[in-house]
Amino acid sequence: METKPKILIVDDEETCRKPLKTMLELNGFFVIEAETGKESLDKLKEEPDVILLDLFLPDIYGLEILKIIIEKTDIPVIILSVKDGKHDIETALSAGASDYIIKPNKNDNELIVKLNHFINKRRMTGRNSIIIIGNIILDGLRKIVLKDSKRVDFTITEYKILEMFAKKPNEVVSYEEIFVILPVS
Domain limit, last residue, from 88, 110, 126: 126
Give alpha helix (H) positions in the chain: 14-26, 37-43, 62-72, 86-94, 108-126, 156-167, 175-181
Task: Indicate whether 2 pLDDT > 80.
Answer: no
Return the CATH number at 65. Answer: 3.40.50.2300
> Could you tell me if residue 1 is inside a domain?
no
Q: Is-contact 74 156, C-beta < 8 A?
A: yes
Q: Based on the domain organization, do 122 and 154 belong to the same domain?
A: no
Give yes or no: residues 146 and 90 share one domain: no
For residue 94, give its domain range. 6-126
The three-class DSSP label of residue 27 is coil
Q: Kindly indicate the confidence band of residue 155, based on its pLDDT and cuts at 50, 70 and 90.
A: confident
Task: Return the pLDDT at 92.
Answer: 94
Mean pLDDT over all residues of the chain?
Answer: 87
Residues 147 and 86 in one domain: no
Total count of domains within the chain: 2
Model pLDDT, residue 19:
95
Q: Tell me which of 126, 143, 161 is where a domain ends.
A: 126
Residue at which a domain ends, from 87, 109, 126? 126
Question: Is a pLDDT exceeding 50 seen at residue 127?
Answer: no
Do 26 and 111 belong to one domain?
A: yes
